[in-house]
Chains A and B, each alone.
Chain A
């Protein structure tokens, strides 16, 4: 008896990660019991990873509309109009679970997956970023995970020839058994030629193109929807293996084909492979689809329908071709030495019909797999400990030796330059990179236009763990502030919500609070969400991660020649602090982490009104070319922003002398992490215009000192407390991360 003729019962469903209720729902939707292949397809599509069943209600709260939004959540990626008839197509996605199991391939295929999401929409990818979180580098295993994940990302992105413009690297104990890898990609497409994954013309042929289907990554979506136990090692076969060369060919072939009129719809094969792509492309178009698996190119023999439908082999795409244009597809894919096999056609009956070995293998209504997946409103519970107390500078002892304290702080793994990581990424290929990694935002120009695109990826799990609402709002605020610092206007945002087990009420509380905080900041700053993803069950042996929202904001320059630099450029330039003065927020700060080994205290309160004013001021000053350099203040406060501003990417360095006057203790003024602030440098002759513009925008401005010399010198209320030469600082700041993560010790 073949698979298609036997029934899969409740015990099979439970073993596949479904609940008894879900199994009954499947039976009622089908009007019969599923066969094993069908059950596998439901199990993948109704997994948390594919269905968003625990987070859907939360995600529905995000603001998603603006005049610029061309494609909001629900497609492969979001799209926003950027002028000149062009659109920026972008998204961030997690690849956390695979990375823990196999860091090189897990991280590499995260890059491959997000790139497919972008070129599926008809956009040529022009930039990558990534956000990485690991356990403390003092533990060898964490160093290995970091090293291999970075090597995997570098291997994939570099081979594809797409620059990696920046991102984040953060460390905390909670990520030891659950490292996070979130990959972001951005592409440019003609605004009127965005391709969608929506097939609505019965009779159109369906092609599977690119790599052959193999037995790798089967049930990756279900694996990514469960917590890990000590058996995690045994899940290595669920991780896919990437081939960036194949993906490069696939990208070029798809983009070549998309320049013509042969394609009706496109969807990449990612999580849940053929099952997800066929069901979604038909369901979105209100149609059905039939495929014959015997026609799909296969890497190995004897694969079952179950294996072919659930394989997550990389570098594959599903194309729906306009009837009569099949030869164009075959010609282009032959040029690029890739398989292009017609495996079926679009139908009118709303069903996904799968044939294998000459028999029907599965017959399921497309919508049953997609829109009809369960949605849960899981219980939420505010924990007893909340809220934490605020931490002010009077609560903490001042350092005995400020010079030593600064070296220790800026050389710590959380704050030291990320040079050791980003130099492994090709960040210049394409000859469009105008702001390199190491600054607040990455910036590329768009050749042939005056336009530029800026992007920033931010989140702080420590903040969010202590106050999820504040953490969510601050992640949005910081990403927007980073874009304002370089002079760009935010046009859209994408996000990746990394959380623990949603069946725990405290985790659902975190998720709901984070979304509330994000919504408030997104609304205040007028930035719509255009897509993203959710990664739940980031738990191993009951240990969960900090709730970690990662927010990617994309901004535009109408004239990229107004781009503001991120380093002090000329001796004598005047230094200013813009934003609310006298803030001393130290809760959940880098200072507490480095000096007290504490992740406690309440993170700073967002100040969204001040963020809006600061953003408008920074953009106005940039447009009038008044700002020489700008850095936002975030982790590590003023000291960190100052040290980062000293060292330019070409290897040169410029000192600075600060003369600070403040009411409280130096700790809060120098290292506090209050938001809505930026450190700026300005030519002396522009200082009056600059100050006037700040006052017009209602932004407080304090003169701090001057750039120049070979030292960072800081006087606090008339007393010099810090004097460090750039040669003292560089070994700590420039090499701190390398020292912490390299294995030669």
Chain B
């Protein structure tokens, strides 16, 4: 019997909703449903995922218009109530634009879109993206973005680091963080963060593209397992 019900938000231009839905259903064996951005309520859902894509065409800025969609009010309420809200890629950008997560995304240092496997290292376990991981665990997960260059000013960066809000950092296969391992120029190699309370979390890489052995990579399973672990602890 499924114990949880997940909402997967769909904005015009979202394009990873089916990937996330399939990954959630396959890995967690819980209920997951698509929710159109015009919905004014998330009643009956225990958690929400904001998937990747180009919400509202990413006009203005990546994620910049999505925060005006009606579904964002109940999403903020869900975040405020302590239930898990997670973002992947464009979902990360949307949660930043909605001020549910810190920092902002700049264009990649290369000025081009980048799609490839990267290694990331778990930095903190207190989040619905990392609860099933140990600090220092390494995952190989694909990225696919043009604006994933995480930026925060010195003061905010210091606050994020000292508050253990950094969840993932780009690294090499051995877990070392080096300049060459950072695919987009993110400050401190940041690939994922959480809010102070820990229930809102996001990452740029796509665990929804690495959840089944047929895809040649199951490292993303541990990210979705974390969601269940976090909700049940």
Contact = CB atoms under 8 A, between A and B. Distances in A.
Interface of A: 151, 154-155, 158-161, 243-246, 248-249, 336-337, 422-431, 433-434, 445, 447, 560-561, 649-651
Contact of A425 (B22, B53, B54, B113): B113
Contacts of B114: 423-424
B16 A161 contact: yes
A422 B57 CA distance: 22
A431 B115 contact: no
A425 B116 CA distance: 10
B19 interface: yes
A430 B117 CA distance: 15
Contacts of A433: 215
B144 interface: yes
Given A161-B15, A161-B16, A248-B12, A431 B211 contact: yes
Given A431-B19, A431-B22, A159 B117 contact: no
Contacts of A447: 22
A426 B206 CA distance: 12
Given A158-B144, A248-B13, A427 B115 contact: yes
A429 B23 contact: no
A336 B142 CA distance: 30
Given A424-B112, A650-B117, 16 more contacts: A154-B112, A155-B113, A158-B113, A243-B57, A244-B54, A245-B58, A248-B15, A424-B114, A424-B115, A428-B115, A428-B142, A429-B144, A434-B214, A434-B215, A434-B216, A650-B140
Nearest to A651: B117
B50 to A, nearest CB: 15
A151 to B, nearest CB: 7
A313 B10 CA distance: 27
A161 B53 contact: yes
Contact of B13 (A154, A245, A430, A445): A245
Nearest to B36: A335
Contacts of B68: none
A594 B224 CA distance: 50
The list of the 3 closest CB pairs from A to B, nearest first, reads: A161-B15, A245-B57, A431-B19
A67 B195 CA distance: 58
Contacts of B12: 245, 248-249, 336-337
B97 interface: no
Contacts of B217: 650
A429 B15 contact: yes
Given A249-B12, A447-B22, A428 B144 contact: yes
B208 A431 contact: yes
Contact of A426 (B59, B144, B216): B144
Given A158-B144, A161-B53, A337-B12, A430 B116 contact: no
16 contacts: A155-B113, A160-B15, A161-B53, A244-B54, A245-B13, A248-B12, A249-B13, A423-B114, A424-B112, A425-B115, A428-B209, A430-B19, A431-B22, A560-B214, A561-B214, A649-B117
B229 interface: no
B56 interface: yes
A159 B57 contact: yes
Interface of B: 12-13, 15-16, 18-19, 22-23, 52-54, 56-59, 112-117, 140, 142, 144, 146, 173, 206, 208-209, 211-212, 214-217
A371 to B, nearest CB: 39
Nearest to B146: A158
A560 B216 CA distance: 13
Contacts of A422: 115
B115 A159 contact: no
Contacts of B13: 159, 245, 248-249
Contacts, number: 88
Given A431-B23, A431-B208, A245 B15 contact: no
A424 B143 CA distance: 11
B45 to A, nearest CB: 21
B113 A431 contact: no
Contacts of A649: 117
A245 B19 contact: no
A158 B146 CA distance: 10
A447 to B, nearest CB: 7
Nearest to A155: B113
Contacts of B146: 158
B22 to A, nearest CB: 7
B54 A159 contact: yes
With most chain B CB atoms within 10 A of its CB, the pick from A154, A155, A426, A445 is: A426
A426 B19 contact: no
A426 B140 contact: no
A47 B167 CA distance: 59
Contacts of A434: 214-216
A447 B23 CA distance: 12
A431 B209 CA distance: 5
Contacts of A429: 15-16, 19, 52, 144, 209
A171 B153 CA distance: 44
With most chain B CB atoms within 10 A of its CB, the pick from A430, A431, A445 is: A431
A486 to B, nearest CB: 14
A245 B54 contact: yes
A384 B76 CA distance: 76
A323 to B, nearest CB: 30
Contacts of A561: 214
Contacts of A160: 15
A429 B12 CA distance: 17
Contacts of B117: 649-651
B206 A428 contact: yes
A423 B116 contact: yes
Nearest to B116: A423
Nearest to B144: A426
A446 B53 CA distance: 21
B22 A154 contact: no
A434 B216 CA distance: 7
A427 B209 CA distance: 11
A337 B36 CA distance: 13
A431 B144 contact: no
A710 to B, nearest CB: 16
Contacts of B15: 159-161, 248, 429
Nearest to B12: A249
Given A430-B19, A445-B214, A424 B56 contact: no
Contacts of A151: 112
A336 B216 CA distance: 35
Contacts of B214: 434, 445, 560-561
A246 B116 CA distance: 27
B51 to A, nearest CB: 10
A434 to B, nearest CB: 7
Contacts of A650: 117, 140, 216-217
A428 B115 CA distance: 8
Nearest to B117: A650
A31 B140 CA distance: 70
Given A429-B19, A431-B211, A245 B59 contact: yes
Contacts of B52: 429
Contacts of B53: 161
Nearest to A563: B214
Nearest to A445: B214
A715 B116 CA distance: 35
Nearest to B115: A426
